[in-house]
Amino acid sequence: TRATVERIRRSRERLAAALATLGFRVWPSEANFLLVRPPAGNAAQLYRDLKAEGILVRYFAQPALADKLRITVGTDIQNDRLLAAITGLGLQ
């Protein structure tokens, strides 16, 4: 529905802005996910750390994507949990 699309758009923009504030490179997106590069480019380690916290993101061990993560836009509660975990890892 239109309301669902608008909710996802707002959540995506909020998540993208928060990640950028934490030093992530965030590519523009019109989808329900974000492509991001962590501040130190340590995507594989961040993937493992988040997985250990029960937070699943996508990591692709391919040359052009090895320093990036694909993060699906969740609910605000899910996004806040992701951001709290990243902050707790000291990436800010």
Q: For residue range 55-77, list pLDDT tens digits in order.
A: 999 999 999 999 999 999 999 99
- Full-prediction pTM beyond 0.75? yes
How confident is residue 90, by pLDDT bands cut at 50, 70 and 90? Answer: confident
| pLDDT above 90 (res 91) | no
| pLDDT above 60 (res 92) | no
How confident is residue 50, by pLDDT bands cut at 50, 70 and 90? Answer: very high
Question: Which of 27, 32, 69 lies closest to 51, judged by CA?
Answer: 69
